[in-house]
Amino acid sequence: MHFATMAEWRSSFEVLAAGALIAGLAFAAPSQAATFQTITAFCSDFPTCSIGANPAGGLLLDSAGHLYGTAPSGGTGFGTVYELSLSGGKWTPSLLYAFCAQSGCNDGVSPESALIIDTAGNLYGVTPRGGANGGGVAFELSPAGGTWQLKVLYAFCAQGGSACTDGSTPSGVSTQSNVGLTYFGAATGQPYDGVSPLFGTTVSGGLNNAGTVFQLTNSGGTWSEKVLYSFCAKAACADGSMPGNLIVSASNSIYGTTGAVPGTVFQLKANSKLTKWKLSTLYTFCSASNCADGETPDSLSIDGTGKLLGTAASGGTGSNCNMPGGCGAAFSLVPKKKGSLEKVLYNFCSQAGCADGSLPAPGIALDTAGNLYNATNLGGNDNCFGGSTCGAVIEVAGTTEQVLHAFCPQERCTEGTSPQSGPIRDAAGNLFGTTAFGGKFGGGSVYEITP
């Protein structure tokens, strides 16, 4: 069950909760496999929600232990960038930037993907809307002088008129991507150096209006954009469309997914000077009968052996799934130019009531053993919203899945509900993530799970 706004969530909760009480349903706490705590709840100043509301994207953890995130609403009504700082065992949220501060919202609107950080502490991200041309922006936030200042690195839809041949709508959670920008070294946890190229995707625009992979290059403080690939270049869009997550490897390769049905995993390979790129489709989903291999991939990561791991938001063979398109799957893929080997690791909604989760969200974390951590939009507790479900945080080890936490075990979902992105993991194994709705004040939450 998805809600577009906090007001819709509040209204729906009252109706469904009332129905649950009439039907004699209870809000029961599921068994816990790890320690869960809500470390902040958004909208304590409802309806202003000055720090942000309904966080959809994942989080960023810096070397000092601070958390950073984006919220698509709140602030002045157009979204925010926020920070969480830990002191004396208590997390304190603060507002770093409220969007649409510039005339015509030239600074962007409604950020919904995770941020990256450079060695100087500057933050980088994207917004899917706003900007000088209405096609979204890539931005940098700098704390110079003690006040965070935003610089637009590039405003999309600057070329090709309404065709937006340079791309439009940089990817975010709603377009099956968790991180807006990435770079060489990101996959191994290195901070961005502040000068090397940045890479990202747009869900629309490009030569065929089916999305792009783009590169941003810094030359003496001036940024330029170059489209590396425009999707739907092949017959019947065999190369995919609506690209999402990117993984930049150390071998001049970019791996990514496309989210339009049935979805693909692709590789963009560059020459040594990064001047020419060639796309290869590594795998097309729904290659198995009834899409048993998954459909619409929305997460991707790479382990130390070069194997790709990810999740597909639909498809799979969950035996208790009642959704026509399937409830999703976790998969691995050994990339090869021809005949990449895809393996389904786990089919969601394999347990009664989808207690094991359903519809995995964009964004996964891996530990050193190659275990996969994710959050699901639905599944988990079947007492939420009078019989609906509100998501879970899960771990997949090999082909075994474990629910670490099922959301909304208590009345009114004060810990949060409906995560729209997966958690991040620190060196100690703690997981941090966001929920888009619920929470003490109804504006979503940030949570921590300690193993």
**Backbone torsions φ then ψ of 40, nearest 5 degrees:** -160, 150
Q: What is the pLDDT along the chain (451 residues), one digit of tens a residue?
A: 334 444 443 344 333 333 332 222 222 234 445 899 999 999 999 999 999 999 999 999 999 999 999 999 999 999 999 999 999 999 999 999 999 999 999 999 999 999 999 999 999 999 999 999 999 999 999 998 889 999 999 999 999 999 999 999 998 766 666 789 999 999 888 999 999 999 999 999 999 999 999 999 999 999 999 999 999 999 999 999 999 989 998 778 999 999 999 999 999 999 988 899 999 999 999 999 999 999 999 999 999 999 999 999 999 999 999 999 999 999 999 998 788 999 999 999 999 999 999 999 999 999 999 999 999 999 998 666 555 679 999 999 999 999 999 998 776 789 999 999 999 999 999 999 999 999 999 999 999 999 8
Residue 327 has, within 13 A of its CA and on its CB side, a CA count of 28
Q: Rounded distance, CA 139 to CA 159, Å?
A: 18
Over the stretch 389-444, which tens digit does the pLDDT of each residue have?
799 999 999 999 999 999 987 767 899 999 999 999 999 999 999 999 999 999 99
> Measuring CA to CA, how many Å separate 49 from each of 55, 72, 97, 288, 367?
12, 11, 13, 46, 35
**Residue 436 in contact with residue 55, Cβ under 8 Å?**
yes
Give the model's pLDDT for residue 382: 67
Beta strands in 237-388 (DSSP E): 243-248, 253-258, 264-270, 277-284, 295-302, 308-314, 329-334, 341-347, 358-360, 365-366, 372-378
**Does the CA dihedral 380-384-386-389 come out positive or negative?**
negative
> Measuring CA to CA, how many Å separate 156 from each of 40, 56, 98, 402?
33, 22, 20, 41
Supply the pTM of this predicted model: 0.91
Give the model's pLDDT for residue 339: 86
Give the model's pLDDT for residue 191: 96
> Measuring CA to CA, how many Å separate 430 from each of 42, 423, 447, 450?
21, 10, 10, 5
Q: Rounded distance, CA 67 to CA 94, Å?
A: 11
Q: How many CB atoms lie within 10 A of CB 135?
A: 25
Residues paired with 199 in a beta bridge: 182, 215
**Residue 231 in contact with residue 239, Cβ under 8 Å?**
yes
Q: 110: closest CA among 170, 38, 182, 158?
A: 170
Q: 282: closest CA among 273, 292, 269?
A: 269
Give the model's pLDDT for residue 408: 87
Q: Rounded distance, CA 258 to CA 246, Å?
A: 10
Over the stretch 338-350, which tens digit does the pLDDT of each residue have?
889 999 999 999 9
Reported as type and span, the H/E element at residue 84 is strand 80-87
Q: 99: closest CA among 59, 131, 57, 55?
A: 131
Give the model's pLDDT for residue 27: 26
Q: Rounded distance, CA 323 to CA 357, Å?
A: 13
Give the model's pLDDT for residue 388: 64
Q: 201: closest CA among 223, 233, 229?
A: 229
